[in-house]
Amino acid sequence: RNIDVDHIDLMKLDVQGAEHLVLEGATDALRENRISVIFTEIITMPTYVGQISLHEMLRKFDDHNFQLYNIYNLSTVDGRLRQVDAIFVNTMSPLALA
């Protein structure tokens, strides 16, 4: 179902390794800079079927003018980073100037 939304100030993603699929579904909004900030969980260890790697996830944000602002809530297993929450800001958004 399509919903016509002009602009999203903040998009929150926590969909168990399918964040990249949400970004693919939002390709038009991302390309048109209609999303200002994305707060997302990023899983760094292989956990879910279909999950993409950390560097692939970071590339998706970079490809759409999103820059990492900060990371929060680091979770580890045996000293190895398992997941983080991250905020990405669209460098083409008016909010990026604030």
Q: 49-89: per-residue pLDDT in tens?
A: 888 889 999 999 999 999 999 999 999 999 999 999 999 99
The DSSP bridge partners found for residue 8 are 35
| Cα-based torsion angle of the residue sequence 48, 50, 55, 60 in order, rounded to the nearest 10 degrees | -120
Q: Provide the mean pLDDT of the chain.
A: 89
Which amino acid is located at 66 in the chain? F
Whole-number Å distance between alpha carbons of 73 and 39: 12
pLDDT in tens, 44-59: 888 888 888 899 999 9
Phi (first) and psi of residue 53, to 5 degrees: -75, 165
